[in-house]
Structure 1
Amino acid sequence: MLIVERCLTPVSGTPRGRRAVRLSCDAASRTGDRAAIAGYLKNSPPRAPNGHFDVDSRAARQTVRALRTGDVERPGAGIYATYCARCHRMDGAGERQKYPRLAGNPAVLGASSASLVRLLAEGGESPRTQGGPEPHKMPSFANRLTTNEMAQVLTFVRNTWGNAAAPVTSRDVSKVRAALGK
C-alpha cells in the first residue's frame, strides 16, 4: 500500500493527513514506480475551477439571511434547507473535519457537474485517513429527489454563498442517473 501525504485541499473541508492509496497493478508495486506515483500525486496542482467564488458578495449575504429566515423562494433553496443544511450549514461552510464546505469548493465550481450529480444520487463517505477523524457518510438522494429537484438543488449550491458556476440541467442529471441505473 502506498501512503501519500497532502492529498486533499484545505478548501474541500475533508480530513487532511496521510491517505492510503491501493495500487492494483503489479508493475506499479516496484519501489521506483511507487516513488514516481507518490511524487506525481503530491506535486499535481488542483484543477482550476470553472466558476468563481466571492465570499463577500451581496448575494452571499442575502442567501444566508434568506435561508435562516425560511425564505426559500429560489429554486433549490427549500430542498437545500430540508436535506443539506443540517450538515453543510445554511452558509455552506460545512463543519471542519466532518462535512465539506460547499461555498468556494472547487468540486462545486468545476466545469462538469457529473461528480456532484453522482454524489447526490449515490451518497458518499469521507476518506479514512491515518490519524484523522472518523469518516462521515452522506446518504443517497436518488430515491428522495426527482431529477428536476436534483438539478435545482445543485444549481442552487453552484450559485449561492458567492459561488458562480454553470447551472445543472435536468438533462445533466438524467444522463448520470441513467449511467448509474438510479
Structure 2
Amino acid sequence: MTYGLFSRAAFFSAAVLLTGFVSDLHAEDTNALVKQGQYVAEASDCSACHTVSGRGNFAGGMEFKLPIGSIYSSNITPDATHGIGAYSEAEFSRAVREGVRRDGASLYPAMPFPSYARMSDADIHALYVYFMKGVQPVDQPAPSNRIAWPLSIRLPMTIWRAVFSPSIRAAQKDVMRSLPNDGIGRGAYLVEGPGHCGACHSPRGLAMQEKSLSNSSGSLFLSGGAPIDGFVPTSLRQDQRTGLAGWSEDDIVQFLATGRNRRGEAFGGMTDAIFHGTQHLTDADLHAMAQYLLSLQPHNPALSAWRYDPEAASALQAGDVSAPGAKVYVDHCAACHRSDGRGYAPAFPPLAGNPVLMSDDPASLVHVVQSGAVLPGMTRAPSAFAMPAYGNMLSSQQIADVVTFIRKAWGNNAPPVTAATVDELKKTAPEMMRKQGIIPLN
C-alpha cells in the first residue's frame, strides 16, 4: 500500500516537471468530451432545429408556427452576447432539462425539455463541453418571436412546466425502471430522452402538452401525433396497418440510418431528424432503439393485419383504368410505384401496405402529392431521390381521386378523400410548397 501511494505521488510529481504533460492530458480529456458531446448533440437532434441555411451552425432562427404565433429557435453557439457563451454548466443544464433560461424566464416547450429531463448528468456535461469548446461562436441574434401580447408573457409557462414537465429526479427515476434487457433499456433512454421521439409521434392535449412522455405511462406514447407542417407523424408502436407491425429490427435500423428501407422512405420533419441525427448514431445504438420500439405493445390492438389484395393490380395490368384516379395513377405514379403498388424499394417506396397511406388522416399523402418530397443522400446511402410536385399539374379533384385510389388499392382499404378535403389541406400546405412557387390548381 505504501509503495503504491509513493509510486502515484512520484509519478504525478515527475509529470508536473514534464513541460506540457498536464495540459496535454487535459486537452485529451477535453477532446474526448467534445467528441462525446457531439454524439449526444446528434442523438438529441439539436442541429435540425438550431441550424438554418444561410446562418451559422447552431445560430438558431428556425420558425415554429404555433396557434399563438411564431417563435424562433435560439442561438446556442458559445457567443457571449447572442448565444449561450455566458451560461454556466448548471444554467445550461437547467435550460436543457428544466426549460428555464439563464435570466429565469421559461422556455417555450417547442424546446423538448420534458424529454431532455431524462438525460444523464454525464451526457449533459459532455453536451456542455461540446457547445462551449467544439462549436464556433456566431455573433448573430435569432429573430424576435412574433406572439401578440398578452400571450407573449412567459410567466404562465412556469405553471405549464410545473404541471406538464417532469422534474429531473422523477424523469431519471423512470429511466431506471425495470426493462427486459440492457439493449431495450438503452433504446428506451435514447427514444424517450435525447431522441425526444414523442415530441412528434405522441398525441398532445389542449395545452399542447404531450399526453405521455414514456411507455411507462401507457400506450398513448408514440401512438401517433398531430400534424406538423402538414405532415402527420405515424404510430411507432406495434400497431397493425398504421404502425410498425411487420417491420423487423433491421428495417428500423436501416430507416434510421438512411431514411429508407424496403417498406418506406422518410419525408417532412423525419427527413431532418435522420439527416441531422440518427444517421450519425452507432449501429449498437440504432439496434437498441429498434429493439425498444419492437417491444411497444399496440395502442389499438383491435386493428387487423394488412393483407395484399391483387384486384387493383390485375385491373391496371389489363389496361382497365375505369376506377376514379386510376388513369392519373398510371400516368403519373406507376412508373416508380408500379401497378402492383410494391414500388422499387429502397429507391421508390411501396404504396401497398404503407402505414402513411392507411392513416385515418390523409394529410401526409395529399401534401406529398401536392408538393413533392426530397430524400437527401445519407452517409450510408449517398443517393438522393425526389418525388415531383403535382400541385401545379393536377386539380383538387384529380388529387382527391388519385389519393383515394391509392388508399383503397392493394388491400390498403383506407377512407376516401374528397376535393373539399384537398382544398382545406391546401391552406396548411408545407412551407416548402410555397418556397418552390407551387400554386395548386383549383
TM range (shorter): 0.7 to 0.9
Q: 1:70 aligns to what?
A: 319
Matched, 1:131 2:390: no
Q: TM-score, normalised by structure 2?
A: 0.33
Give yes or no for contact 1:51–1:165 (8 Å, CA) kept in 2: no
1:142 is matched by which residue type in structure 2?
A: G
Alpha-carbon distance between aligned partners in 1 of 2:196 and 2:427, rounded to the nearest angstrom:
37
Q: Note the C-alpha offset of 1:99.
A: 0.9
Higher relative contact order (CA 8 A, sep 6+): 1
Compared CA separation, residues 86 and 3, structure 1 to 2 (3 A): farther
Alpha-carbon distance between aligned partners in 2 of 1:94 and 1:51, rounded to the nearest angstrom:
23
Which residue, out of 398, 409, 416, partners 1:160?
A: 409
Alpha-carbon distance between aligned partners in 2 of 1:20 and 1:132, rounded to the nearest angstrom:
22
Q: Structure 1 residues 126-135 or 104-113, which shifts more?
A: 126-135
C-alpha RMSD of the superposition: 3.0
Query: Secondary structure, in 3 states, of the residue corresponding to 1:137?
Result: strand
1:22 is matched by which residue type in structure 2?
A: A
Compared CA separation, residues 21 and 171, structure 1 to 2 (3 A): farther
Q: Note the C-alpha offset of 1:122.
A: 0.5
Aligned length: 163
Compared CA separation, residues 146 and 52, structure 1 to 2 (3 A): farther
1:46 is matched by which residue type in structure 2?
A: L
Give yes or no for contact 1:97–1:133 (8 Å, CA) kept in 2: no
1:34-68 Cα shifts (integer Å, max 9, x gaps): 85222757x9561642896311xxxx222111111
1:89-143 Cα shifts (integer Å, max 9, x gaps): 1111111111111000000001100111111110001243220141210111011
1:66-89 Cα shifts (integer Å, max 9, x gaps): 111211010011110110000111
Query: Secondary structure, in 3 states, of the residue corresponding to 1:164?
Result: coil
Instruction: Name stretches of at least 5 consecutive residues in structure 1 with no aligned partner.
Output: 5-18
Q: 2:423 aligns to what?
A: 174
Alpha-carbon distance between aligned partners in 2 of 1:72 and 1:150, rounded to the nearest angstrom:
16
Give yes or no for contact 1:92–1:101 (8 Å, CA) kept in 2: yes
Which residue, out of 334, 351, 354, partners 1:85?
A: 334
Q: 1:2 aligns to what?
A: 42
1:54 is matched by which residue type in structure 2?
A: R
Alpha-carbon distance between aligned partners in 2 of 1:102 and 1:145, rounded to the nearest angstrom:
20
Compared CA separation, residues 51 and 179, structure 1 to 2 (3 A): farther
Matched, 1:54 2:211: no
> Which runs of structure 2 are paired with 1:140-151 in the superposition (5 Å)?
140-151=389-400
Q: 2:364 aligns to what?
A: 115
Compared CA separation, residues 116 and 20, structure 1 to 2 (3 A): farther
Compared CA separation, residues 175 and 95, structure 1 to 2 (3 A): same
Alpha-carbon distance between aligned partners in 2 of 1:51 and 1:145, rounded to the nearest angstrom:
34
Q: 1:13 aligns to what?
A: none
2:307 is matched by which residue type in structure 1?
A: D
Compared CA separation, residues 133 and 70, structure 1 to 2 (3 A): farther
Runs of 4+ in 1 over 3 A off after TM superposition: 25-35
Alpha-carbon distance between aligned partners in 2 of 1:164 and 1:21, rounded to the nearest angstrom:
38
> Which runs of structure 2 are paired with 1:90-105 in the superposition (5 Å)?
90-105=339-354
Alpha-carbon distance between aligned partners in 2 of 1:94 and 1:100, rounded to the nearest angstrom:
5
Give yes or no for contact 1:155–1:167 (8 Å, CA) kept in 2: yes
Give yes or no for contact 1:80–1:153 (8 Å, CA) kept in 2: yes
Give yes or no for contact 1:127–1:135 (8 Å, CA) kept in 2: yes
Sequence identity (%): 30
